[in-house]
Each structure stands twice: as C-alpha cells, then as structure tokens.
Chain A
Amino acid sequence: SAAETLLPVRSSSAFKEKGVLTPEEFVAAGDFLVGACPTWSWESGEKGKRRPYLPDDKQFLVTRNIPCLCRAKDLLKGKMEEELLQLQEGEAEADAWVATGGSTAAGGVEDEIADMSLADDPAEGAEGSGSGVPEGQAASASTPQADDAESDSDDVPDMEDFVVEEEDDTVTIHHPSSNREGERESQAGEENKILRTRTYDISVTYDKYYQTPRFWLVGYDETRQLLKPELALEDVSAEHAEKTVTIDTHPHLPLSSASIHPCKHAHVMKKLLDSLSEGGKEPSVEHYLVIFLKFIASIVPTIDYDYTMAADIGGS
C-alpha cells in the first residue's frame, strides 16, 4: 500500500513493550522457528516483490501441504471446547481474541457430512453455521466455484485420446476416492472425511505497516486444484471469518489469498508475552513466532499445523 511504502521501517526493538517486531527480529524469530520446526522454511518469493529490509533468501516463511480434514464449522462442539480448554490451560490466560468458536453451531453437521461434493455449497454452509461468509460474498463466491467444479476438474479436452500405457503393478496410487492401500475401512463416514481433505500452504510474512507477522492461507482441494480464497474462510472459526480475515494480494506470491488481518496482532502478542512474563518465563524475541503461531492456531482450528507446542517457549 501507499502508506507502507512511505513509512520508515521500524528500527528499535519494542517487542515487549508493544508486541511488535523489527525486520531483523522477524528474521531472528523465523530462524528459531525453522530450527525448532524443520517443516517451516524460508522462501524468497517473486523477485519483483522482494522487500529491501529483509534478506533476499529470507523474505517469508512457508510450511506446505498441511492437511485440513474437515471444515471449521464441522468441528463438533465438544471437541472444540476440549481443544479450547487445553489451549487455555497451556496459555495461562486466553485473550478474548483467542477464545472463540465454542459457540459454533453443531447443527446440520450430519447433513454436511452426507454431502459428498467437494465444492461445498456455501449457501448451505451459511445456514449451518451462522456463516463465516457475508451473504453477498458467499453468493458471488459460489457461482464461479460451481462452474469451476465442472470445467476445472481434470477434464482435459479429449482426454480419451491420450493413450493409456500398461499399468505398472508395483505402483500404489494415492487417489482420494479409490481404495487406499492398508486402509481399507470404507465406511461411508471415512470416505467422506477423505473426500473433504484439503491441504494448505501456510505462509507468514512481515507486515511493515503493523510491524508484526502476517498469516496467509493458500488452499487446495482434494484434487490439488487451487481453492478460491473465499473458500478458505470455511476453515476459519466462524467469528474470525467475519471479522478478522480478509482477502488480499499476497506480498510475495502472484495470487490473492485469505489472510488474518494484523491490526490486532501486536496487541494480542503483547498480552501473551506479558502473561508469560508473569508466569515467571522470560520469552525472548526468538520465541515470538512460535507464540504467534500458537495463537493463530485457535483461529484456524482444523488446519493441523500447530506442532510448535513441543518447542521450548520462554524456557530461558
């Protein structure tokens, strides 16, 4: 944005006082994250979009191919509460921002599970959960998606023309709807779950304006077709889907993507850091992203990326 280009880069550390980071601190926290959780890595992204205040090879952080087995609205209420409880126990104190979603309606879950189609009908979703997506948006998102489902899938024109080679009998094919080796439970429920698996590429960028990390979701459906960013809202807990998730141009990739808006990040991070300090731990700036990701995990409850728990936070 224009404001971003005009603003100077933060140069003095204020992570404890304000919950914000300098670019150098972002890099230090990122290095710690990559070391503690090797599933994360630094990337440089598009050349033309590199930020001069970050090293070329450390522009943003990515972890890929994260499974998301069901939509946030399908999380059963009980399970949700259980997870939130765990989170609160672990977190000393849950910020108002963190504790949400317990009220997510569990109604209509059965119906939705029965719905095998990949392209969930957002209208139905809206009904079931009190909706993450404002109605107008849902409608505009749904129409192209429904069309895409037909035109986009693997319907290469005249695909029959491609000669099919003899099958190699030593290949195990990972095909979502075919039988999977070693997992022959083919109850309807199981099948449904498999069909609904999405995968996400998650990235964390540095937001110069808010001086905090920013969290981005790029989703793929079961057949690895790119999801419309609006559909990622289904994997955000209802409360946040309405308020804090926006769809913006990714700062380093050629696409629009769902992102958790960073306007409150500094505030929440400050609270979390304070509560850790009160608990006798002295979190260093390296731990910032681990704590950040833990807090974001409550906003995207079904995206299974949060394995930072094992990382030692504020141990020193």
Chain B
Amino acid sequence: MTEPLRFLELPSAPDVSFWARLAELKLNEYKLSEDPIPCVGHYRACAHEGLASPLTLTSASFDLDTTYESQIRMEGEVVLLNTLESMKTFDRKGAALGAIRKVEASVQSGTCLSDPTALNRFVLVCFADLKQYTFYYWVCVPAAKTADPILSEGFTQGVDQAACEACQEYYHSETKGRAPFWVLEGGEEGGYRCRPIDNGGEGGEDDEIATVAFVDPSHVAGSPGWPLRNFLWLLCGGLCGLRRVRVLCLRHEKLGRFSASRSAWHEVAIPPAGSDTTVNAVGWEHNSKGGLGPRSANLASTLDPKQRASSAM
C-alpha cells in the first residue's frame, strides 16, 4: 500500500486588519516601492472537524516579534505590486525558489535545528486597488519538491493516550506551544519522551526509523498539513539522511489539547535524493474555485468611509 503521500494545502487567512494595515503601509511608507515587506503569520493545530487551521495574518503580522502561545510562527514577506499587470508577470517560480533557498540556508547553517519554524516561509504577492478597496493576492508556502514523491507506507488513525499526553506536556510547558515539530522517543511500556530536534541531532543512526511529532493544521484523514513537507525534507535530505520516518500528526480537540482519536500515525518513506540536486518549489495556493490563481478581498464595505457612513444610518 505504498503510494505518494498527499499533503493538505495550508489555507491563507488574511483578516481585515491585515489589509487595513497593508493599505496604510503602502500609502505612508512603501508608496511605489515593490520591496518585500517582512511579515509573520501564525497557524495552529487543527481543532475542528471539516475545517483546516489556516495561516492567520493580521495587523500584528507586521510586528515581527509577535508571538502567541499555542500558535506556530511562520516568517514570510509581502510583495506589494503597483499594477495588476505586474502581478500577471510576477516571477512566482523565482519567488518560491527564493524562499526555499532561505529555508535551505537555515538547514545548512543549522539554525533550523534550534528554530524549526525557519523550515517554512510564505510569500504573499498582492496588488492593492486602493480606490476600490480591493486586494488581489496570492499566497505561497513553498515546499521543496523532490524528484520522486514522498511515499506513505502506512497510516493509523488514533494514537495512544500516553503519546498524546507526553506531547501535550512538552508542547505547552517546554515550548509554550510554539514548536512545530520535535522528536518523540520511547513508547510502549517505558513511556514517551519528547526532545527538541537539535540535541543529539544526528538522531537515528542505529534506529532505522526515527519518530517525530508534528503539529498538524490539516483536518483531512490521511493527508498531513503542508508544513510537514519541509520537515521531512530536513529529516531525510542532507541533514539527517533518514530514509523512513514515523510521524505522529497531532491534532487538537476543540478545547485546544491534543486529541488521541483525532491524531494519527504516518509511516513515511523518502526516496534517495539521487544525483539530481536541483530543487523545485511548489506551494502556490489554489483559489476558491480550486484553480491555481489569485484570490481577492473586497473590503469596500468596511474600509470605504463613504460606504461605512451610509451603512451606519
């Protein structure tokens, strides 16, 4: 039953305050500059049936030191273009590859070990039609695409309570709920132990299967969330050289604690990198029609002073 492992796209969720702040930055600070604006988004473990946890972007996203407990940080950048035309010609491939290069650099320098959130970045390209209060945007969370697909060798819905509790304890007390993934050791009688991915980083030299826990934003059974892709790339690519990994995909119950029944085990096999070292990046978000294309947000009703005045009557 080996088949390519499928990942669920991380939906983007910029809210009104994000657009309002972006419009303000455009008018007062960036003006015609198309330089990337650094930004930070957050996601959390999936907590609802039938609804994935999105990458949340708010006005606080422009304050780079924004952190929340129980939310995983993802750095990225906003590219604010001046015309819709330039959005059409925007080098999306290049932008995605650029982000992957930064991820790669963090892998090579080892900074991703002390801060695994560096393994995922996003790019939001946007044209802001400020006369119409409409924002055309397209978000990419680039993932490295290997020549051969990552394979799923087994999937078990539901995990044992002890593993869940060990992860819960570690996640909240050690990382304030901000670590996207970590190593899980032990099991069965001995109980589980969690540790960050960095200490003893060469992990699994004699075990042929390493076990990691992953905070999973996906709601779909059998499809882990998108950020796992780059984690697997780290574990199995250059750095750790693992070939097979057991991943505990942790999802929340509604109260915000890991749920044993909603979480799942995935056995994953990664094909050897081979001689072809060129990295491809994938991850531009599909729009609401299911096609690859930008989305739009029309905020005239909330941002346009005229419409606000008339609706306040």
- Cα of A173 to Cα of B292 in the assembled complex, Å: 10
The yes or no answer to B209 lying at the interface (CB within 8 A) is no
CA distance A223 to B6 in the complex (A): 23
Is there a chain A Cβ closer than 8 Å to B291's Cβ? yes
Name the prevailing secondary structure of the A interface residues.
loop
Question: Does A95 make an interface contact (CB < 8 A)?
Answer: no
Binds B, one of A127-135, A152-160, A268-276: A152-160
The answer for the CA separation of A217 and B295 in the assembled complex, in Å, is 23
Task: Sort A-B residue pairs by CB-CB distance and give the 7 closest, nearest first.
Answer: A223-B288, A38-B256, A175-B290, A255-B302, A307-B254, A38-B70, A254-B20
List of B residues within 8 angstroms of A255 by Cβ: 16-17, 20, 299, 302-303
Greatest chain B CB density within 10 A among A34, A151, A164, A255 is at A255
A205 CB → nearest B CB, Å: 14
**B51 and A225 form a contact (CB under 8 A):** no
Interface residue A267 (Cβ < 8 Å from any Cβ of B): no
B295 touches A254 (CB 8 A): no
With A and B bound together, what is the CA distance between A169 and B150 in angstroms? Answer: 11
Produce 1/0 per residue, B244-257, CB < 8 A to A.
00000000111111
When distances are taken between beta carbons in the complex, the residues of chain B under 8 Å from A124 are none
Q: A65-B56, A165-B292, A223-B295 are in contact. List 4 more A-B contacts (CB 8 A).
A: A171-B7, A183-B50, A255-B16, A255-B20
Q: CB of B223 within 8 A of chain A?
A: yes
Give the interface size class of chain A. Answer: 35 or more
A148 within 8 A of B: yes
- Which residues on A sit within 8 Å (CB–CB) of B210? none
Instruction: Point out the residues of chain A lying under 8 angstroms from B256, CB to CB.
Output: 37-39
A108 CB within 8 Å of chain B: no
List residues of chain B with CB within 8 A of the CB of A183. Answer: 50, 220
Please, how many angstroms separate the alpha-carbon atoms of A38 and B145 in the complex? Answer: 34
- A261 interface residue per 8 A CB criterion: no
Cβ < 8 Å to A, chain B residues 190-244: 218-223
Which chain B residues lie closer than 8 Å to A194 at the CB level? 50
Cβ of A256 and Cβ of B6 under 8 Å apart? no
A304–chain B nearest beta-carbon distance, Å: 7
A162 with B293: CB separation less than 8 A: yes
Contact across chains for A67 and B145 when beta carbons are under 8 A apart:
no
For the side of the interface on B, what is the size category? 35 or more
By a beta-carbon cutoff of 8 Å, the part of chain A in contact with chain B is: 34, 36-39, 41, 43-46, 64-67, 140, 144, 148, 151-159, 161-162, 164-165, 167-178, 180-183, 194, 197, 199, 201, 218, 222-226, 228, 247, 253-256, 304, 307, 310-311
For B11, the chain A residues whose CB sits under 8 A away are 174, 224
In the assembled complex, B9 has its CB within 8 A of some CB on chain A: yes
- B69–A155 contact, CB under 8 A? no
Q: Give A65 to B54 CA distance when docked, in angstroms.
A: 8
Residues of B within 8 A of A197 (CB): 50-51
- Asked if B289 contacts A172 (CB within 8 A), the reply is no
Contact of B282 among A64, A168, A224 (CB under 8 A): A168
Contacts of A36 in B (CB 8 A): 255
A-B contact pairs, 6 of them (CB 8 A): A162-B294, A174-B11, A174-B219, A175-B289, A228-B301, A255-B299
- Is B173's CB within 8 Å of the partner chain A? no
